[in-house]
Structure 1
């Protein structure tokens, strides 16, 4: 479907306005799909992002501020997310030996097991994107990268 059909709007100010609305709408559509996929596993997309960051760092610890720098959603409160994942025993938190004000975080076996369980589920959910060819997906990704290069 077109963005015009999905939001029942016939005209836009410009192609750039249409693009802006389409990007926001599509981003929310993707986020909702991920939210629905992860709900069954008791985690949010932001918590999933933290676990993926920790898995990429594993077995080395990472500081909470470094997690924040790597997160997809820069408005998320990484400390709060770490607390929630700690309560679910999906990570451990220790004081940093070199800086007592900092905290080191490491994913647990339970967290790694959850991610292993989620891998095929996420792959299945990504099939929704296969209306694009791999080449088109690369092209769209490159165009989005180019858009962000204009940030000031």
Structure 2
């Protein structure tokens, strides 16, 4: 459905304004869709983001500060998210032997298994880009978004 129909607005001041409104609307739509999808796995989208980051670092760990820098949602409390994931056995904290204040977070096998289950289902059933955008269109969209951020 076109953005004008979605928000019941026929006219926009400029194509740039329309694009920004469309981007914000689509972001919120996708965020809600993804939150609904990820809920069945018993974690939040932010927790999945932490697991995804740590899975990319496996078998090495990184600090919560490094996790925070890499997170998609910069407003998330990385420390709190890590604590919750640790309680359910999806991540582990490793203290530095020389400096006990330095803590690295590592994804556990339980966490890696969850990431793989989510990715398998996401690719097969969920990802709305799979049947709506070609690979070339997705690459073009990504390039345009990169260009917009400058």
TM-score bracket, normalised by the shorter chain, equals over 0.9
Partner of 1:28: 28
Task: Name the SS for the 1:104 alignment partner.
Answer: strand
Aligned pair 1:137/2:135, yes or no?
no
Q: Does 1:67 align with 2:67?
A: yes
Aligned to 2:40: 40
| Distance (whole Å) between structure 2 residues aligned to residue 142 and residue 98 of structure 1 | 44
Runs of 4 or more, structure 1, over 6 Å off, are none
Question: Is 2:81 aligned against 1:81?
Answer: yes
The structural deviation recorded for 1:98 is: 4.5
Q: TM-score, normalised by structure 2?
A: 0.93
Report Cα offsets for 1:28-76 as digits up to 9, x if no partner.
Answer: 1111111111101111111101001111111111111011111111111
Residues in 2 aligned to 1:30 and 1:97: alpha-carbon distance in whole angstroms? 43
Count matched residues: 148
Q: What is the DSSP-based 3-state SS (H/G/I as helix, E as strand, rest coil) of the residue aligned with 1:105? A: strand
Assess if the C-alpha contact under 8 Å between 1:85 and 1:91 holds in 2. yes
Cα displacement string for residues 115-149 of structure 1 (whole angstroms, at most 9, x for unaligned residues): 121122111211x2131111111111100011111
Q: Distance in 1 between matches of 2:30 and 2:111?
A: 24
Q: Secondary structure at the match of 2:92?
A: strand
Choose 94-103 or 19-28, whichever is displaced more. 94-103
| Unaligned runs of at least 5 residues, structure 1 | none
**Preserved contact between residue 37 and residue 121 of structure 1 (Cα < 8 Å):** no
Q: Distance in 2 between matches of 1:17 and 1:102?
A: 46
Please say if residues 54 and 107 of structure 1, whose CA atoms lie closer than 8 Å, have aligned partners that are also in contact.
Answer: yes
Partner Cα separation in structure 1 for residue 98 and residue 6 of structure 2 = 53
